[in-house]
Amino acid sequence: MPAAGLPFDKMGVMRASRVLQLALLGVLAMTPAGAAPKKAKNVIIFLADAGGTSTLNAASIHGYSKAQSLYVQGMPHIALSDTSTNSAWVSDSAAGMTAIVTGVKTENGVISMGPDSVRGKKDGKVLKTLLEEAEDHGLSTGVITNVNIADATPAACYSHANDRRSAGEIFLQVFRPKYGNGVDVVIGAGRPAVYKAVKESGEDLDAVAAAGKRQVRSALADVPAGELRPIVVTNTEPDVPAAARLAIDRLSKNKKGYFLMIEWDAHTDNPQKGLNNLVGLDKLIREIAGTVNLKETLLVFTADHSFDLRVRAGRKDEPLLKGLDEWKEKTAGKKPAYLDLPNIRLFGSHTAEEVLVAAEGPGSERVQGFMPNTRIHEIILRSWGWWPGT
Ligand SMILES: [Zn+2]
């Protein structure tokens, strides 16, 4: 029976329009502004080598005399990442970075090959890295480090080897890519060591580079303005912020997007240097977050493993590293495995506890809770929309 005495036909029209209205409301409710699947065009990984949570704590105090003053400590999405390897609780940079960029936990010393590798003896399964995924999809790619460019962390992005010590074999893979045209921007240190290692592999680095119409430059200042794929291998530590600015300038010319990994070593065997490096990396992240478009650029900060440094005492009005000069005098000529200052204690080794993952930009909301380091790989692929089935 029609209600309110309305004729049947009018009631039918009213019902139909109400149904349409409700359906539209439903669609709108499912896709409010901003809830459309967010995809990243560009991804930048900032890697503080050995920059665990206790080192972040110390770096904030060292740099700002204040807790939680680092940019990464204010990023909107954070998680704690397990860095254990396939078989060990404590990771080195090779296994740690391999897990992050390939999604597979392997063995210490192994560069982007599976746990079926035997270090120095047998190749394992070659694992496709995030950098290679980006190359495969036509994006531009880059790797920056303040240490040797063939060292484990950068190597895990662009190469595959059963032993991190095979620097010649590793660096030559810059010129022999499996996907796309290979890594586009390469900036790091270790020039004499890299040239020597390549020579020991029976090749001449400059000749290999020239055959690929590239040049291995020795300083950032030598890179011509128009060069889109610079390779810079310096004698001393490169200026990481200057390298990052140069890399982003070149990589962002690709309309499809880019992948960039920036490593800044935060080992604190030398606590002053390690903590300064971490404060420097954090400042760089703050700068880049303020210059790139965060609607299309995913920023991820993490460490490959933690380090045994602890703040164990100290007043808020005194320098964290007080007593360091006296310690250096006292231990001159010796090489103690530990450092014992009034406010800091450290043993020169990696440790197993979880490290921070902090992120912002499209897809960063997936960074949450306790998670394995391999999930960083999944989160980045999902952000790009390349995770299988998404
Ligand atoms: Zn490391």
| 206-255 tens-digit pLDDT | 999 999 999 999 999 999 999 999 999 999 999 999 999 999 999 999 99
Q: Where is average pLDDT lowest: 290-299, 329-338, 380-389?
A: 329-338
Give distance in angstroms: CA of 88 to centre of ligand 1: 15
Give distance in angstroms: CA of 94 to centre of ligand 1: 7
Q: Give the whole-number percent of the chain exceeding pLDDT 90.
A: 87
Q: Please say whether the beta carbons of 275 and 58 come within 8 A.
A: yes
Angstrom distance (rounded) from CA 34 to CA 41: 16
Give distance in angstroms: CA of 323 to centre of ligand 1: 27
Give distance in angstroms: CA of 235 to centre of ligand 1: 21
Give distance in angstroms: CA of 18 to centre of ligand 1: 61
Mean pLDDT of all residues in 283-304: 98
Mean pLDDT value across the chain:
92
Give 158-195 pLDDT, tens digit per residue.
999 999 999 999 999 999 999 999 999 999 999 999 99
Token pair 């103690």 is found at 336
Residue that wins the pLDDT comparison between 148 and 389: 148
Q: Is the pLDDT of residue 58 over 70?
A: yes
Q: Is the pLDDT of residue 22 over 90?
A: no
CATH numbers and ranges of domains, the chain: 42-313+340-384 (3.40.720.10)
Give distance in angstroms: CA of 272 to centre of ligand 1: 18
Confidence of residue 17 (pLDDT cuts 50, 70, 90): low
Give distance in angstroms: CA of 92 to centre of ligand 1: 5
pLDDT, position 10: 47
Angstrom distance (rounded) from CA 39 to CA 385: 6
pLDDT, position 182: 96
Angstrom distance (rounded) from CA 132 to CA 11: 61
Tokens of 171: 């660096």
Tokens of 202: 């029976």
Give distance in angstroms: CA of 307 to centre of ligand 1: 9
Neighbours of 386 (CB within 10 A): 15
pLDDT, position 148: 98
48 to each of 91, 278, 279, how far by Cα in Å?
A: 14, 7, 10
Give distance in angstroms: CA of 304 to centre of ligand 1: 5
Helix (H, G, I), strand (E, B) or coil at 138: coil
Mean pLDDT of all residues in 40-52: 98
Q: Please say whether the beta carbons of 343 and 265 come within 8 A.
A: no
Give distance in angstroms: CA of 100 to centre of ligand 1: 12
pLDDT, position 338: 92
Any idea what DSSP says for residue 143?
A: E
Q: Give the whole-number percent of the chain exceeding pLDDT 70.
A: 91
Give 329-361 pLDDT, tens digit per residue.
999 888 888 999 999 999 989 999 999 999 999
Give distance in angstroms: CA of 268 to centre of ligand 1: 11
Mean pLDDT of all residues in 279-285: 98
